[in-house]
Chains A and B, each alone.
Chain A
């Protein structure tokens, strides 16, 4: 076991804290030091709350010393995507329009983290309002991939994934509307889980697309993800779309890690053409490992997947166009007076503030969504897209009648260079082809690092999908594959990541 506290997994830290080998204050300081040393190059954080994190750590240490019974992860620091409301700590969603906004309340996820005693290190970078797949659409500058800082970390949750990959935090919270947890996980060699829709409360998660958004864990191991999932999941009366059932036994599933007899379906439509050879190769090898371990692997076809990307890019912007209407400079956020107008109306101030406060990708999606919901177009666009979701749900249900989990590469490519697809939104959208379906049908998905692509030595992710409310299946299968891969590699994938230059 490494002695560098920043390299430890959350499970290892929890154990060391419980046995009083280390204090939360020590761990938190080590991570804050690491952030200070490397985040200039990575830019995973938009806001570091050293004071708040150290105070929370000291509090937990005191409570532990007094013999109080604490949550398992108590004292293990965490980073939170800047799309979740944190009381008293800035929350920008990566947008200029919310610059300086300090929420007066906590998201339910934030509240659960605080109640469990995890010090919050800070808020992580993201594409503006989670719109993007590269974190380049952040109004505060991009995040860099720790494997190659000239490349994107994925998005929209590039900040959370990079923070975990760069050992700035053992745990992070991401949110996933079309792949924003899983795709950055794949591109940074980390584990990312999108729970079943409704499995984790959305209260306090600044909505992009209400029917697709879901918060989830970003970690370096499957077990850590399960521990965090169990902590943040469960019914919330403040979120009407929260499911009433308890969180599935994900930690037990991650510890079980046994795929013998597990029926695994390879989704035919999510591979092959358009997928990078190195991605395809690592994916196939990983599936072979599962087969060798006793899983029954078959190919499954879901023809309606052809329509998923199109449906997604109608539903998501439609809901986003309405969700983002509240940013009008009337009650909070940046207010910009229209130029050359001494006596502007409220409407003119709204327009000029939104013009100045929103970036191009956000405006693009608001315009798309406004159009798709317009009278005369609603049936053809939003209405048809919702029908596609129904068909997709049916097709996935049929597939899950034959197999326990489905697998595909998480992303068609490895991390591409910064700026590569910035001027070609459609090319960037295509990168979400494998992750979007889970959001459209509300099923859980997990991305696990499965190696480095031969052509660029960058991480490749494999995605597991399971039926709604069967998140535990993901953890069982992924933990098994993780163990098989680490046995094969003789260590973790991230231990092979290049050392980052440390600034002191």
Chain B
């Protein structure tokens, strides 16, 4: 593999404009597959959720899952799309072992939803992303390449295929070219994917878990020289498994394309795979017949023609639009504009909602998610919702603080324990011995020792200079290894030196 020559992001943008589009695949959470009655649960034993239809046994025929059509329409409406009065499925023909029929039943020039838009916010600025289409299709099976060093097909000794995923309903959402200031492209891409996740999650039609693959984002990117109208060759980056990775993938591809173009080279039209550990992309497999899928209308399925009445019924089931919801939450919570921007930027809106629902005040919920959790996510390169801590757990820990049993500083250790799987917040507090000491006997003794150890400070306090109380409190806290109620310590000092 040749080493890529990269041009730093900022420098690349002095000469090139990125042309970017995003494709998001969303796995629906219907009980059964797109074209057969097989269950769709994640994580079952390989090849146990299969039947003649999704294994493409000779003679089997597909039947459209009406619930999937309903979900597709609701999704289309949420994306402000038009809903087709009549549309068809089409066959996308190519050979690959993870695809039982060697064609994917998809939609081609007649998608169920088209011409939509969403507004996303980055740093307080709103950007409109135009949606070209949202169409229905089926997922492929999952190939596992065994042997070799990379886990990829090249160099593998053999491959296994799990067809449990084959036929799971997917909705593919395709944007038009995203027109934003070049330097904003990575952040807007991330914000868009995050926004769609929240939007679709709110509909309840998908688990929208990037880490489990129920939401997958592909980044299509090319560069055109500043001032030129000629579009460059694009790459399609897959395997982007977190919001953060979306941003990194866009940045990396801009740097990589610029490096190739600067050297007078040609960008290869190909699929790239994002590498989470290095933040780079690697050349992916070349599909057979990459240029010609020989689409034609699926003759085994009748056209789908949702009545306008049905579409309107479904429109009425849509939750509050995100902008309205945000305004409502901001007012309810008493957040400033900046608070709200940070919340959305961190992808923490729904986490705070859930934490508040679990009994925490909005301010405390914000403190934890935008402070402690955002820091941890940043340090570990994870999305904030994959840290291994739930809003319920945050609420439990805050309740312990409110009860005076731990303090903020001890809470960090409780988070560590909960994330490490040591049990509930309560169990971690007990097991790690983190409970603050508010027993006056033990504290009193420690206060006495602190007064003895620093007679100067004690004298000043007696003389009314309360500003030096901190020194004595610090000494007590040190002795108690942080596990003391600082407020009570202060009270005891002042009582004793009154």
B58 adjacent to A93 (CB under 8 Å): yes
Q: Which of B95-103, B225-233, B244-252, B473-481 contacts A (4 or more CB under 8 A)?
A: B95-103
A286 contacts chain B at the CB level, 8 A cutoff? no
Smallest CB–CB gap between B425 and chain A, Å? 49
Interface status of B161 (Cβ within 8 A of chain A): yes
CA distance A370 to B295 in the complex (A): 11
**Contact B296–A240 (Cβ < 8 Å):** no
Majority secondary structure, A binding face = loop
Instruction: Given A210-B299, A211-B299, A322-B296, verify A204-B60 contact (CB < 8 Å).
Output: yes
- Asked whether A297 is an interface residue with its Cβ less than 8 Å from the other chain, the reply is no
* Residue pair B300, A105 in contact (C-beta under 8 Å): no
Q: Is B62 touching A240 in the complex (CB atoms < 8 A)? A: yes
For A489, list chain B residues within 8 Å (CB). Answer: none
Interface positions of B from 42 to 63, Cβ below 8 Å from A:
52, 55-63
Chain B nearest Cβ from A286, distance in angstroms: 35
Known: A322-B103, A375-B294, A382-B296. A107 touches B57 (CB 8 A): no
Please give the distance in Å from A92's CB to the nearest CB on chain B: 10
B498 CB to nearest chain A CB (Å): 85
Binds B, one of A176-184, A323-331, A468-476, A491-499: A323-331
Bound Cα distance A444, B211 (Å): 53
Among candidates B52, B95, B300, residue contacting A241 with C-beta atoms closer than 8 Å:
B300
* A378 in contact with B296 given A204-B60, A238-B61 (CB within 8 Å): yes
Distance from B147 Cβ to chain A, minimum over Cβ atoms (Å): 12
Q: Indicate which residue in B52, B61, B291 contacts A104 across the interface (CB closer than 8 Å).
A: B52
Partner pick for A374 among B91, B97, B100, B294, CB 8 A cutoff: B294
Q: Are B93 and A206 in contact (CB-based, < 8 A)?
A: no
Known contacts A104-B52, A346-B159; A210/B300 CB under 8 A: yes
> Are A318 and B62 within 8 A (Cβ)?
no
The answer to whether A237 touches B58 (Cβ under 8 A) is: no
* B52 & A206 in contact (Cβ 8 Å cutoff): no
Interface residues of B in 287-309 (CB under 8 A from A): 288, 291-292, 294-296, 299-302
CB pair A241 B302 closer than 8 Å:
yes
B419: interface (CB < 8 Å):
no
Q: A residues 69-104 with Cβ under 8 Å of B?
A: 84-85, 91, 93, 98, 101, 103-104
Residues of chain B within 8 A (CB-CB) of A84 are 59
Interchain CB contact under 8 A, A325 and B302 = no
CB of A164 closer than 8 Å to a CB of B: no
Min CB gap A475→B, angstroms: 27
Q: Which of A207, A211, A350, A374 contacts B95 (CB 8 A)?
A: A350
Whether A370 lies near B294 (C-beta < 8 A) is yes
Contact B103 A101 (CB under 8 A): no
Number of B positions contacting A (CB below 8 A) = 31
CB contact list, A255-285 vs B, under 8 A: none
Judge whether A332 is part of the interface by a CB distance below 8 angstroms.
Answer: yes
Residues on B with C-beta less than 8 A from A203 are 59-61
B399 at the interface (CB under 8 A from A): no
A447 to chain B, nearest CB (A): 25
Interchain CA distance A389-B288 in the complex, whole Å: 32
> How distant is the Cα of A104 from the Cα of B294 in the complex, in angstroms?
31
Interface pair A319/B59, CB less than 8 Å apart = no
- A373 part of interface (Cβ distance < 8 Å): yes
Find chain B residues with CB under 8 A from A207 CB.
59, 300
Q: How distant is the Cα of A164 from the Cα of B292 in the complex, in angstroms?
A: 45
Interface residue ranges of A359-418 to B (CB < 8 Å): 370, 373-375, 378, 382
In the complex with contacts A210-B299, A347-B288, A325-B101 CB distance below 8 A? yes
B64 touches A (CB below 8 Å): yes
Cβ-based interface call for A239 (8 A): yes
The reply to whether B294 and A107 contact each other, CB–CB distance below 8 Å, is no
Whether the pair A328, B97 counts as a contact (CB closer than 8 A) is: yes
A104 near B292: Cβ-Cβ < 8 Å:
no
- The answer to whether A322 touches B294, judged by C-beta atoms less than 8 angstroms apart, is yes
Question: Is B100 touching A331 in the complex (CB atoms < 8 A)?
Answer: yes
Interface size class for chain A? 35 or more
Q: A331's contact among B56, B103, B301, by CB below 8 Å, is which?
A: B56
For A370, the closest partner residue in chain B by CB is B294
B91 contact set on A, CB distance < 8 A:
322
**Chain B residues near A326 (CB, 8 Å)?**
56, 58, 100-102
Give the chain B neighbours of A375 by CB distance below 8 A: 291-292, 294
For residue A485, CB closer than 8 A to chain B, the reply is no
With A84-B59, A202-B61, A207-B59 already in contact, the answer to whether A322 and B302 are too (CB < 8 A) is no
A319 to B103, CA, bound (A): 12
Q: With contacts A325-B95, A331-B55, A374-B294 known, is A319 near B299, CB below 8 A?
A: yes
Is A460 part of the binding interface, using a Cβ–Cβ cutoff of 8 Å?
no
A325 to B100, CA, bound (A): 9
Q: Are B300 and A373 in contact (CB under 8 A)?
A: no
| A103 to B59 Cα, complex, angstroms | 10
Complex contacts, B102 vs chain A, CB 8 Å: 325-326, 328
CA distance in complex: A210, B298 (Å): 9
Residues of A within 8 A of B59 (CB): 84-85, 91, 103, 107, 203-207
Q: Which of B58, B61, B95, B161 contacts A240 (CB 8 A)?
A: B61
Question: Given A330-B161, A375-B292, are A85 and B58 neighbors across the interface (CB < 8 Å)?
Answer: yes
Contact of B58 among A206, A239, A322, A330 (CB under 8 A): A206
Given A240-B300, A240-B301, A330-B161: A104 in contact with B57 (beta carbons within 8 A): yes
Q: Which of A93, A326, A327 lies at the interface centre, i.e. has the most chain B CB atoms within 10 A of its CB? A: A326
What residue in chain A is nearest B50 (Cβ atoms)? A331
- A105, A209, A238, A318: the one contacting B63 at CB < 8 Å is A238
Pick from B60, B91, B93, B301 the residue with the most CB of A within 10 Å. B60
Distance, CA A93 to CA B152, complexed state (A): 37
Q: Are A328 and B302 in touch, CB under 8 angstroms?
A: no
Specify which chain B residues have a CB less than 8 angstroms from the CB of A347 in the assembled complex: 95, 288
Complex CA distance for A202 and B161, rounded to whole angstroms: 28
Chain B residues with Cβ below 8 Å from A107 are: 59
Besides the known contacts A85-B58, A211-B299, A331-B57, 9 further A-B residue pairs in the complex with CB atoms under 8 A apart: A85-B52, A206-B58, A206-B59, A239-B61, A240-B301, A328-B97, A330-B161, A350-B95, A375-B292
Interface residues of chain A, those whose CB is within 8 Å of chain B, are 84-85, 91, 93, 98, 101, 103-105, 107, 202-207, 209-211, 237-241, 318-319, 321-322, 325-328, 330-332, 346-347, 350, 370, 373-375, 378, 382
Nearest 6 pairs of A and B residues by beta carbon = A325-B102, A210-B299, A373-B294, A211-B299, A204-B59, A206-B58
Q: List residues of B whose CB falls within 8 A of some A CB.
A: 52, 55-64, 91, 93, 95, 97, 100-103, 159, 161, 288, 291-292, 294-296, 299-302
Q: List 13 A-B contacts (CB under 8 A).
A: A93-B58, A105-B52, A202-B61, A203-B61, A239-B63, A322-B103, A325-B95, A350-B95, A350-B97, A374-B294, A375-B291, A375-B292, A378-B296
